[in-house]
Structure 1
Amino acid sequence: MKKVLLALLLTLPIILPAQKKKKSDEPAPQKLASSIDEKTGDLKKYPGYIEFYYDERQDRVWLLIDKFNTELLYIESLTAGVGSNDIGLDRNQLGRERIVYFEKRGSKVLLVEPNNFYRAISNSQAERRAVKESFAESVLWGFTVAAEDNGKVLVDATDFFIQDVHDVAGTLRATQQGGYGLDKSRSAFYPERIRNFPLNSEFEVTLTFTGQPSGSYIRSVTPTPTSVTIREHFSFVQLPDSNYKPRKFDPRAGYFNTSYYDYATPISEPIEKRFINRHRLEKKDPSVAVSEPVKPIIYYMDPGAPEPIRSALMDGAKWWNQAFEAAGYKNAFVVELLPEDADPMDVRYNVINWVHRATRGWSYGASVTDPRTGEIIKGHVTLGSLRVRQDFLIAEGLLAPYEEGKPVSKAMEEMALARLRQLAAHEIGHTLGLAHAYTSSTENLASVMDYPHPIAKVVNGKVDLSNAYDDKIGAFDKVSITYGYQDFPEGVDEDKALDAIIQNSLKAGLTFLSDQDARPTGGAHPYAHLWDNGADATNELNRVMEVRSIALKNFGERNIKPHTPMATLEEVLVPIYFFHRYQVESAVKVLGGINYRYALRGDGQPVAELLTPEQQAKALAALLKTVEPGALILPESLLVNIPPRPIGYQRHRELIKLKTGLTFDPLSLAETSADMTYSLILHPARANRLVEHHARNINQPSLESVLDKLIAHSFKAAPKSGQEGAIQMSIDGALFSNLAKLAASNNASLQTRAITLLKLEQLKGWLKQRSPVTTNEEWKAFYVYIASLIEKLQEKPEEFKADYPLESPPGMPIGDTDMDFCGH
């Protein structure tokens, strides 16, 4: 029994008397300063929208927050960039704008970003709460309260600002420039750009990223590429008042849009709401046809742009007054020089920025927009400075202007400045809310929101550039501005009035199609193109080829200045040799094309019409002319004048790729040009459409017929000798590479791959019949080699790799452009 009791005692828990916790073991309560004044007494004070203090000795910023649960706009941007178009981190580059609010939770203040994409526009608090709790919000930061007094709290915001919100490190990684991280020991506030105003507070920091560079772009633009130092900017801005009235989005009007889902919408109506993006503009007297505005839209020019460039840009910007006058305004759009003491990132200024990069690149039209309504708060244009030099280079190539004993013509500078006027108008158009309008070039240059190619004409056997670019706002621009900014008198039915604006535009023959319709690779529209001219893409291609032929015929030492290395002829030659590239991209879209619009039910626009067989046959014939040896060969008189590069003049991206070592390579040049045409004709989407359209209508051209014409025009054409024969083989090689690529493409349909493989089998049979009877050893070798490649493709298609042509030098931007969002 004793043993049992002992066992029970051993299994029972031992309960000790509770020990009183020592005061020193408890977490110490956070000690707040007795008052905000005590904490900030000797710090530099910045009164304004959100009052803050700067501790110069410790390099710290303290925010005094008294606006809790009040929405405001938080904007981040990049003010001092990297200088590489390929990396894409430019001076004065806008980042994201977000609606946020401060919320106090105990000893913390949270910076909360509500989810405005999902809403319930309702008087019912329960409905609003149901949506709010159904979708995630984002808490962007948590601040610790350091002092508190009468409903105001003081927080240390240093770490919030000394962070990489613009994701510079991520961009460097994504562009394969290396793994970089923020080094806070080499980062600090930038006091001269820290400011406060009644409606906005501005902060700026210098950030240094350290790492090992792995890309050539970052090495080329950074003095010590293991240490990349930039500046980022932060703004807190009071949101606009509720007096702005959003305007409905219509896909035919030419605008970008702001959209959100309203879960309080009746089930009979669309849940997604769309409104155009635009500035706030009101007439002083809406009842009269023409009125001055209550407040004009003012844009400020970056004084960093030199003359005569600055004046050209300001002139182009002022074109928009023509559109606002058509919408019933007087003096509504003003362009001035940015004041010396103004900050270009200050949300109060619409700014036209002049930005430098190591290589030519895009220009942009961006904006800060109220996510709730689509109201544009700040227009922000970024213009790449090398744009003007590219146009000047194109003019040098077309005009051959440097004649001994004669003054140099002003035509080149005039053309380049004319393009800058158009460029300024284009990018500002984006910041007014307008999207690209790519049918306008076929409608008598109806919009500056198209991408314009220089119009070169042949006059008396010479190239003329006197009207290379338009000098005014377009007819469709006036329609768009009227739709977006017209201030209707009281009593007018706005929906009916807006629809009437569009219907009148359609009756005038003006249309609108944008980015997705204009891209050349998969595009199918016969009128919406990039960098084209003329009402008919095929006719314009034939005309451009004539201009190109004359320019190449006259090409020689007069295309470069005296005492310039002869090797630099190549820089001028490249844009002229490829002068037709964008018109090829336009004409190829006629093949397997569809004529359509952003049609609404009952508006009378074409919906989806197949193009006629005659249109497509005409386009194919013009395209085949671009891959004839006579079009791609360069004269011997020119080739003997392009030597290898001298010391101090290294090869660079704007020159052609070579297979000949140091010497100029005319065969690879021709192969590259032919590849540009063939790769577009044989794009999988286009080939698939040919199959589909022929199945729907037997009169439509079939893929078989197109491939037969390509092969007949190249491989089966009479073989030529000498340099022209070598060019012919280069062209044929480019065709085979693209046929092989199409046959193996995962994006090609089953029928497309089958037809392409059949045509390659037939070509192989022809080559094998041809090679034994060919006496020319070079052609015999070529026929045998291509036949062997087809056999390899047939045997192991998954392992086959063709000898693809070398890449062409950069095209877009032709002097500056694309990613659009809004790049040009």
Structure 2
Amino acid sequence: MSPTFRVAALSSLAAALAACATPGPSAPTVAADATKPAAAQAAAAPASAASGAAAAARPDPAAPKPFAEVIKDAKQQPGFFPVWRKDEKVWLEIPAERLDKPFLLSASVSESIGERGLYGSQMGPSWLATFRRVGNQIQLIALNTEYTATTPAMKATVAQAFSDSLLAAGAVASAPHPERKSVLVDANFLLADLPNYAMAIEQAFRLNYGLDRANSAIEKARVSDDMTTLNLRMHFATPRLPLPPIAPPPPNTPVPTIPKTLPDARSMFVGYVYSFTKLPDAPMASRDTDPRVGHFFDTVTDLTTDLLPNPKRYLVNRWRLEKADPAAALSEPRQPIVFWLDKNIPEIYRPAVSEGILEWNKAFERIGFKNAIVVKQQADDADFDTLDARHASVRWFVGSDVGFARGPSHTDPRSGEIIDADIAMSDVFGRGARRFRVESVGSSSAAPFALPFAKGAEQACDYADQAARELDFALDLLDARGELATDGPEAEAFAKSVVRDTIMHEVGHTLGLTHNFRASTVYTRAQLQDKDFTEKNGISGSVMDYNAYNIAAAGERQGSFNNTTIGPYDYWAIEYAYKPIAPGEEKAELARIAGRSASDPLLAFANDPDAGGGPGSEGIDPLVNRFDLGDDPLAYYRKRLQLSRELWQRVQERSPQPGEDPIRQRRVLLDGFRALRDSPALVAKYVGGMYTARTVPGGASKTPAFVPVEPAKQRAALQFLASGLFSADSFRFKPEFLASLTPDYREWERAGLVSIPAAVLQLQGAALDRLMSPGTASRLLDLPLYVSEKERRGLISLNEVYATLQGAVWSELKRGGEIDRMRRNLQREHVRRMQGLLVRVSTPLPADAQSLLRANATALRDELRQALARQRWDADARAHLQESLALLEQALTAAMVRS
């Protein structure tokens, strides 16, 4: 409890007790005293009455001071919620007419510490909020908007069932203004951690940094007729830093780490931007989503009636866009969507950023809006912060370990109207971005930290980070071919094209569009090699996919490297969200627009859960992926391995030049592995895979929602894993090349030896995890249920998958001699996974899969026994086979432990 809050509460309590002790007007002033004569009591009465009148005339010391006295000599910033400032004191004026009236409250982070997810220029959370007066206290309330009702009875029921939340509170600092009836509140009550950044800090470092209000301050305020913005400088501190653990902690145990970017790791300052934004009295007309098109949405559960099977409504997030001339076929909007380029964007990238934003005007022109989006440049001497709620913006930010872009937005939850959006773009294409990721292959480093308070975290976008990884690989390969020097003007132009592509993606998010991870498969391999086609259409059906770079293999023609324009899906998604439609025609017209996906393959759509990769989301459709390209993803993964091997061959043939980056060779080697990072699991996705289609009841599409992947494709995927990614021959390097991979001796913390076996095993383990997962087993067992009896004869079975995998991993058992170390690693991981599934499982295999796995493990045990008895092995191979046999025997005789 704050001191101000405590004093106000005690004063209110004293006043209440005094009121209880004071007789009401109908009661006698002094109670009758039976010990005194009646005359004496009568004589005493006038004196008591006079004493009570005098007490009533004295001012209540707990009452707020007059408004004018509080703000004497203070300067006012008039507007939505006026701000008064005098020296270090800041007051917020709460107009009487704005009490209990909703507004949008947003909290963003303008400055931070530049590591582990804690970066500046980040949009934070927002709430539909209101100021509520309770006695002599002003409460800042976050309203519960997820549940609603329209009838009086159900409104009361909903209000009783679902609570609002208190964000902050402060004592009323003044009596009401004589004319305006507004009151003042000390703005220091907002020196509170509204975005819950302390949790983000603790999650990043596992250290408890507390908010230090005494050293936090409101730095500046900006007020207009429809918004009040406060910039705060918040101090977080911890009294002491932990010592390193004496002994290594158990696996998966969080260990405190110490920030590296601070002069003193016990103290950090974070900039907050709080915006109080006026909302329209009448919310914008909402538009319901359609599952065939991908839009962000606000969810409202309407409990007015119990007749609906699903009381939820999903309101499309979209800007309020209305024609200035509704009758015109092409009209400018009454109010365009304005994106501000923050003054912190490097000048070299500003044209590319503008082009990426304005590219979306093509989609709006198709539905009748001219110049729907406008770009403005913030002046260097501008006094506003583009993180406030009235300036949609693009901002640059840097950090010691950063590599992503985000395109979040804030909405009016009553209607889904987008009120603000702030794209944060990291300097992933600049000076040190390539160094930051150079040692990430073959290591156990944690995944990038995610802001826990960001709206839409379930669809967090790390496109820029992975696009930068793609850029590294593309530049290295093109440089090795002699087609593009990494330090020349062509490379700079290439980087700008990547910025443009990334900005198109993030702007799509701020217009309300989700990811579309099926769009990369709508063009054929032949179309992708046609320069004219790709310049006109791009390389994908949507910029909302995570699109790989279109790099030609040897003998192929080179099309555009990345997206040059928005795709057909993007036009369609904008049409659904923004096309002006008469209210009476909207339902039918939206159904017609969404229904076009049944006949137009260019409108294919699937989002993050469909692609998998998140908690509890495995992803089953091999055509829905991040960073694939073309209508045959399996062929693309083969090409990807071919390109990595070409890069490795070229870098081994190249001699380092005097004065170049000392870790260039190392970086290029690891970029080849990084380019393959996702391939093994995505190839394995074919096995037990299902093609999916987004169908709706009564829709035009006759395609089933689930169709098993062709058995031939599943077998081809297994064969590619066996001959490509599981083969040690795919990863051969010259000893003299590996010996030449020096670290940068100027760095105190240096990378060690590059471990090729560790990098290879990281790839192979991902394939084993997918092929041996309970989900893959369940789908393979269920496949016969999805096909006709005639089609069942050629199906791939779970036992075939287990046996094929086992035969590919353990092919050396039939010939004896030496087993390569990379192959031993693969075999060891295969046995460990079998052991884990047989003995200790958190997600058990289906019963039939458990039986088949045990049968295959028994067969492998017998093969190992025979191989050890009949074949001659070198010492390493024999020891490895004996250990593998022992692990299998233990697993086959142990009881299962369910964790």
Does 2:397 align with 1:355? yes
Question: CA separation in 1, counterparts of 2:312 and 2:740?
Answer: 63
Given that 1:455 and 1:533 are in contact with CA atoms closer than 8 Å, whether structure 2 keeps it comes out as: yes
Deviation for aligned residue 1:216: 7.4
Could you tell me which residue of structure 2 aligns to residue 687 of structure 1? 777
CA distance in 2, matches of 1:246, 1:405: 49
| d(CA) in 2 for partners of 1:800, 1:736 | 19
1-side partners of 2:356 and 2:197: how far apart?
33
The residue aligned with 1:770 is: 867
Alignment partner, residue 175 of structure 1:
204
Do the aligned partners of 1:207 and 1:231 also contact (CA within 8 Å) in 2? yes
The answer for the alignment partner of 2:879 in structure 1 is 781
Could you tell me which residue of structure 1 aligns to residue 798 of structure 2?
Answer: 703
Distance 2:393 2:656 in 1: 36
After superposing the two structures, state which structure 1 stretch, 247-256 or 751-760, moved more. Answer: 751-760
Aligned to 2:547: 452
Match of 1:620 in 2: 718
Q: Which letter maps to 2:768?
A: Y
- State how far apart, in whole Å, the 2-side matches of 1:187 and 1:732 are: 57
Cα deviations across residues 487-545 of structure 1 (Å, max 9, x unaligned)? 13x58711111122122233121221100010247110121111111112211111222
From the superposition, tell whether residues 127 and 17 of structure 1 become closer, same or farther in structure 2 (CA, over 3 Å). farther
Q: Give the drift of 1:678.
A: 1.7
For 1:354 and 1:217, the matched residues in 2 are separated by: 27
Instruction: Report the 3-state secondary structure (helix = DSSP H, G, I; strand = E; otherwise coil) of the residue aligned with 2:547.
Output: coil
Report the Cα offset of residue 562 of structure 1: 4.0
Q: Distance in 1 between matches of 2:522 and 2:362?
A: 19
Aligned residues: 768
- 165, 179, 182: which is aligned to 2:194? 165
Aligned counterpart for 2:79 among listed residues 48, 55, 78:
48
SS at match of 2:200: helix
Residue 70 (structure 1) aligns with: 101
Percent identity between matched residues is 23
Decide whether the 8 Å contact of 1:251 with 1:598 is kept in 2.
yes
Contact 1:400/1:560 (8 A) holds in 2: no
Q: Which of residues 208, 227, 244 is equivalent to 1:200?
A: 227
Q: Which residue of 2 aligns with 1:369?
A: 411
Confirm or deny that 1:91 pairs with 2:130.
no
Letter in 2 for 1:65: P
Q: 1:402–1:558: 8 Å Cα contact kept in structure 2?
A: no
**What does residue range 16-31 of structure 1 map to in structure 2 within 5 Å?**
29-31=60-62
Q: Retained in 2: the 8 A contact 1:400–1:554?
A: no
Q: Which of 296, 321, 333 is matched with 1:293 structurally?
A: 333
Q: 1:723 to 1:664 in 2, by over 3 A?
A: farther
Contact 2:71 2:84 in 1 (8 A): yes
Structure 1, residues 576-635: CA drift from partner, whole Å, max 9, x if none? 123223333333222111122221013214312222212211222223321111112223
Query: Structure 2: which amino acid aligns with 1:436?
Result: H
Check the 8 A contact 2:629/2:636 in 1, yes or no.
yes
**Counterparts in 2 of 1:800 and 1:40: CA distance versus 1, 3 Å:** closer
| Gap change, CA 1:306 and 1:425, over 3 Å in 2 | same
Q: Deviations over 1:633-665 (max 9, x none)?
A: 22334223224553526346xxxxxxxxx4332
Query: Structure 1, residues 222-279: CA drift from partner, whole Å, max 9, x if none?
Result: 2211111111121111112426211121111210111212222472574222210000
Q: Deviations over 1:417-443 (max 9, x none)?
A: 222211101111111111111110001
Task: Spell out, residue by residue over 1:130-181, the C-alpha distance to the aligned partner (whole angstroms, 9 max, x if none).
Answer: 3323322223333322222336343333442111112222122223431111
Whole-angstrom CA distance in 1 between matches of 2:818 and 2:549: 32
- Hey, what does 1:820 align to over in structure 2? none
Going from structure 1 to structure 2, the CA distance change for 1:92 and 1:607 (only over 3 Å counts) comes to: same
Q: TM-score, normalised by structure 1?
A: 0.86
- Aligned position for 1:267: 307
Instruction: Describe the shift of the 1:595–1:406 C-alpha distance in structure 2 as closer, same or farther (beyond 3 A).
Output: closer
1:713 is the counterpart of 2:713: no
Shift, 1:372, TM fit: 0.6
Q: Is 1:113–1:137's contact at 8 Å kept on the other side of the alignment?
A: yes
CA 523–304 in structure 1, closer or farther in 2 if over 3 Å, else same = same
1:185 shift after superposition: 2.5
Alignment RMSD, CA only?
3.3
**Cα pair distance change 1:44/1:769, threshold 3 Å:** same
**1:398 to 2:477 alignment:** yes
- CA positional deviation for 1:52: 2.0
> Where does structure 1 lack aligned partners over 5 or more consecutive residues?
1-14, 653-661, 802-824
Q: Which moved more, 1:288-297 or 1:738-747?
A: 738-747
* Counterpart check, 1:494 vs 2:593: no
Q: Which one scores higher on RCO, CA 8 angstroms, separation ≥ 6?
A: 1
**Equivalent position SS for 2:824:** helix
Give the Å deviation of 1:358: 1.1
Residue 280 (structure 1) aligns with: 320
Contact 1:552 1:577 in 2 (8 A): no
Q: Matches of residues 459-538 of structure 1 in structure 2 within 5 Å?
A: 459-460=554-555, 467-488=560-581, 490=582, 493-509=585-601, 510-520=603-613, 522-538=618-634
Q: Secondary structure at the match of 1:61?
A: strand
The match for 1:304 is 344
Question: Which whole-Å CA distance do the structure 1 matches of 2:693 and 2:427 have between them?
Answer: 36
Amino acid aligned to 2:606: L
1:734 counterpart SS class: helix
Deviation of 1:370 after TM superposition, in Å, equals: 0.2
- Are the structure 2 counterparts of residues 425 and 734 from structure 1 closer, same or farther at C-alpha, using a change threshold of 3 Å? same
Q: Deviations over 1:308-367 (max 9, x none)?
A: 322222221221112112222211112222234131122111101111121133321111
Q: Give the Cα separation in 2 of the matches to 1:773 and 1:690.
A: 36
1:421-471 Cα shifts (integer Å, max 9, x gaps) = 11101111111111111110001311111011112112459xx87622110
1:442 and 2:521 matched = yes
Per-residue CA shift, 1:741-782, capped at 9, x if unaligned?
443332133333332233222111111110122323222222
* Contact kept? 2:290, 2:594, Cα under 8 Å: no
Residue of structure 2 aligned with 1:595, choices 691, 701, 704: 691
After superposition, the Cα gap between the structure-2 partners of 1:16 and 1:119, relative to the gap in structure 1 and judged at 3 Å, is farther
**TM-score of the superposition, structure 2-length normalised?**
0.79
Label 1:104 to 1:95 Cα distance change in 2 as closer, same or farther (>3 A). Answer: same
1:220-231 equivalences in 2 (<5 Å): 220-231=260-271
Residues 144 and 667 of structure 1, relative CA distance in 2, 3 Å threshold: closer
Amino acid in the other structure paired with 2:108: S
Distance 1:447 1:558 in 2: 38
Q: 1:70-98, CA deviations, whole angstroms, 9 ceiling, x for partnerless residues?
A: 221211121112212x3x23212222211
* Structure-2 change in CA distance of 1:460 and 1:429 (3 Å): same
User: Which among 211, 234, 241 is matched to residue 274 of structure 2?
Assistant: 234
Q: Counterpart of 2:237 in 1: which secondary structure?
A: strand
CA contact 1:671–1:733 (8 Å) conserved in 2: no
Decide which of 547, 565, 576 is 2:672's aligned counterpart. 576
Q: Take 1:17 and 1:95, find their aligned partners in 2: how far apart are those partners?
A: 71
Matched, 1:543 2:636: no
For the 8 Å contact 1:32–1:146, the answer to whether it is kept is no
Moved more, 128-137 or 600-609: 128-137
Residue type at the aligned position of 1:675: G
**Matching of residue 630 in structure 1 with residue 630 in structure 2:** no
3-state SS of paired residue (1:732): helix
Q: Partner amino acid for 1:252?
A: R
User: Could you tell me whether the CA contact under 8 Å between 2:652 and 2:737 is conserved in 1?
Assistant: yes
- Decide whether the 8 Å contact of 1:522 with 1:686 is kept in 2: no
Work out the CA distance in 1 between the residues paired with 2:409 and 2:493.
30
Per-residue CA deviation, residues 8-61 of structure 1 (Å, 9 max, x unaligned), is xxxxxxx9989x9x999999944445521111011222211111212324x443
Partner of residue 753, structure 1? 850
User: C-alpha separation between the residues in 2 aligned to 1:456 and 1:752?
Assistant: 41
